[in-house]
Structures are given as structure tokens and as C-alpha cells.
Amino acid sequence: GAVVSQHPSRVICKSGTSVKIECRSLDFQATTMFWYRQFPKQSLMLMATSNEGSKATYEQGVEKDKFLINHASLTLSTLTVTSAHPEDSSFYICSADHRQGAGEKLFFGSGTQLSVL
């Protein structure tokens, strides 16, 4: 089946640094990828829709300059958390639209646990 690889799985960084998270579709092309954030014991919150070759669409309340998204190819989307602060500590998950049926089935990465000290 289709596989989405997310890297790194865990990152610990100092406050003020930037962190890049990669999301790759390994055996299919994904024109659209999605980025979610999940706090402990909570649900997944959609942050943004990443479109290949164009600007990402951000959900209300998500800072574009804080969470930079780049979708430069059909198999790779990156999320960069800029000038990270402790409140950005969270579990970040990406998903890719396999285009099997207008996005009926998405494939999720294994997530990235970000801890900002």
C-alpha cells in the first residue's frame, strides 16, 4: 500500500531555533498534503493544506510566518517551525492525498514529536 514517510520522528531543540519536518510520499505522487498538530490527549487540528507548486492554505488562527510550508515536488512537503518556543511543543502529523477517489483515503506519516526547551 501507499506509504508516507515523515522525518524526524522526534526532535528536541532550544527555544528560538527553527525546526524542519519532512513529509514524503514514497510510492505515489501527492499534489496535496496536509499538516496537523496534536497536543497531548487531544485531537488532530488541521494547520494547513500544502499544494504542490503553489502557496499553502492555512487554517484560521495558524500563523503563516511561524509555520512555513514548502511543497516543491510531488513527493515532498516540508513544515518549518520558525523561532520555536515551548508552546510549539506538540505532535505534528502529515498526510498525503493518494488521489484514489478525490481524497477519500489519506495516508498519514508516523508523526514528529517536537519538544522545545
Partner 1 sequence: SQQGEEDPQALSIQEGENATMNCSYKTSINNLQWYRQNSGRGLVHLILIRSNEREKHSGRLRVTLDTSKKSSSLLITASRAADTASYFCATGDNQGGKLIFGQGTELSVKP
Cell 504542490 belongs to: 52
Cα dihedral 110→18→114→52 (10° resolution): -30
Comparing CB distances to partner 1, the nearer of 93 and 116 is: 93
Cell 510520499 belongs to: 25
Q: Is 74 in the site for partner 1 (CB under 8 A)?
A: no
- CA-CA distance, 92 to 73, in Å (whole number)? 20
Q: Which of 23, 24, 25, 109 binds partner 1 (CB under 8 A)?
A: 109
Q: Is 47 in the site for partner 1 (CB under 8 A)?
A: no
| β-bridge partners, 106 | 97
Q: Which of 13, 22, 45, 70 binds partner 1 (CB under 8 A)?
A: 45
- CA-CA distance, 78 to 70, in Å (whole number)? 5
- CA-CA distance, 55 to 65, in Å (whole number)? 12
Q: Is 35 in the site for partner 1 (CB under 8 A)?
A: no
Q: Which of 32, 75, 78, 90 binds partner 1 (CB under 8 A)?
A: 32
Q: Is 115 in the site for partner 1 (CB under 8 A)?
A: no
Residues near partner 1, by CB under 8 A: 6, 32, 34, 36, 41-46, 49, 59-60, 91, 93, 95, 97, 102-111, 113
